[in-house]
Every structure is written in structure tokens, then in C-alpha cells.
């Protein structure tokens, strides 16, 4: 059953209502996982009066089997590894180094594109609300959370408009709070809960980040 999200902006408004207690919270930052999480995160940041930034996560896939992750890297230089996968690979160190170099280059490219030369927002000692447009497997969110722990975030809130109930439950042990507006009994894919789930473009990400900075100024 569709919970009535017209698009990501509408979903962000609904999510912001759940997070209203953080409005005006000192030392708060909203980080959106690009690209789909940015329109949601923009609505949340606007409602809470918080600064918005992107937090880029890149999976380190096994060559030839890219869906199998050796780990992930994220904004701020953090790297999270998957030991159970690495133990099974021949020449794991070489594969990991090559994948890290390749994905680090793409991560840097995306950050430059989205931020247009501005430094990332500082997360150390801050309350961080991490936003995506939905939670299916939870892989990207988990990588982001682990990276933010490494970077010294004081409190981490994982926030999504819709998520798989089981994945949301598992995530509760990894963060300080999970905010999920809709946890349907039948969950197949994030897109089934949106009337408009068209792909968010790089240009849309840049525009929303620019609008957020203008609002702060």
C-alpha cells in the first residue's frame, strides 16, 4: 500500500515532522546520501533550520563480482572493511588497494561536483542526522554510520521516509536513533512507495545544496 509520498520532497516533509524535536538543536547537521537522499535531506534541513551537506559512500566491490562488497569508503577519508569477504579472496590486499584507489577517485569527483570546491561540514562532536530516500538492504546507510563513528560524530540519527521493518530494527543497534516514517509489512523496493521516483540528477543535487547555503546565509 502506497503511504502517499508524491515525491522525495513530500517524503522529506513527512520525515521532518518526526524529527521536529531536533529543530534549533545546537551543533546539528543533516547529511544526505546522494543522489536520492538529497531532496529528502533538503526538506529535513530546511524544516529543522540545520546546515545540509552530502555524505558520499562508495562500495568497494570484488572485481568481476561488484555486488559483493569488500567494504566501503565515505566522505572524510573513512574506510569500512568486510573481513568475512576479504578472508575468502586470493590477493585480497591487492584487490582492496585497487578498488579503494578507483572508488576514492570517483568519491572525490562527486564531492567536487556537488560541493563546488567548498570543504565538507565538520561532524566531530556534532549530532548528525543521516538521510536517504529509503532503506532496503541498508548497506549504504550502515557504511555511512560506521564512517561517521570513525569521524567522531557524537550522536547519529538514521532517518528515512520508508524502510524494510527488519532492516530498520537491525539498524537500531548501530545508531543512537532510527527515524522511519513508514515501515510497511510488505516491502519489496523503495520505489514502490513513491508516485514519482525518477532519478535525482547531479544538477539537482548541486541546486539543492546551493539553496541550502543561501538559506543559511
Mean pLDDT (the chain) is 92
Q: Is 146 exposed, middle or buried (0-12, 13-18, 19+ CB in 10 A)?
A: buried
Instruction: Extract the C-alpha cell encoding 208.
Output: 539543492
- Quick one: which of 145, 213, 161, 171 has its CA closest to 3? 161
Give me the CATH topology for the region 8-57+122-216. Rossmann fold (3.40.50)
**Domain ranges across the chain:** 8-57+122-216, 58-115
* 20-58 tens-digit pLDDT: 999 989 899 999 999 999 999 999 999 999 999 999 999
Q: Is 199 exposed, middle or buried (0-12, 13-18, 19+ CB in 10 A)?
A: exposed
**Cell 536520492 -> residue:** 36
For 50, how many CA atoms within 13 A lie in the half-sphere containing its CB?
32
- Quick one: which of 126, 58, 54, 62 has its CA closest to 89? 62
* 50-94 tens-digit pLDDT: 999 999 999 899 988 887 889 999 988 888 888 989 999 999 999
Give me the CATH topology for the region 58-115. Ybab; Chain: A; (3.30.1310)
Amino acid at each position: 500500500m502506497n503511504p502517499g509520498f508524491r515525491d522525495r520532497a513530500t517524503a522529506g516533509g513527512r520525515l521532518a515532522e518526526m524529527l521536529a524535536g531536533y529543530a534549533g538543536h545546537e551543533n546539528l547537521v543533516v547529511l544526505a546520501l546522494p543522489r536520492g537522499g538529497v531532496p529528502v535531506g533538503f526538506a529535513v534541513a530546511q524544516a529543522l533550520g540545520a546546515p545540509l551537506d552530502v555524505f558520499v559512500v562508495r562500495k568497494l566491490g570484488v572485481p568481476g563480482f561488484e555486488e559483493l562488497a569488500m567494504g566501503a569508503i565515505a566522505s572524510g577519508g573513512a574506510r569500512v572493511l568486510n573481513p568475512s569477504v576479504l578472508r575468502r579472496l586470493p590477493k585480497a590486499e591487492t584487490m582492496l588497494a585497487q578498488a579503494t584507489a578507483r572508488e576514492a577517485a570517483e568519491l572525490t569527483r562527486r564531492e567536487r561536483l556537488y560541493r563546488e570546491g567548498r570543504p565538507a561540514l565538520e561532524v566531530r562532536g556534532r549530532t548528525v542526522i543521516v538521510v536517504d530516500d529509503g532503506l532496503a538492504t541498508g548497506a549504504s546507510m550502515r557504511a555511512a554510520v560506521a564512517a561517521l563513528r570513525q569521524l567522531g560524530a557524537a550522536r547519529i540519527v538514521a532517518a528515512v521516509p520508508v524502510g524494510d521493518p527488519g532492516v530498520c530494527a537491525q539498524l537500531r543497534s548501530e545508531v543512537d536513533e532510527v527515524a522511519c516514517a513508514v515501515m510497511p509489512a510488505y516491502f519489496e523496493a523503495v520505489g514502490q512507495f513513491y508516485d514519482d521516483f525518477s532519478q535525482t540528477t547531479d544538477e539537482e543535487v548541486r541546486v539543492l545544496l546551493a539553496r541550502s547555503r543561501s538559506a543559511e546565509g
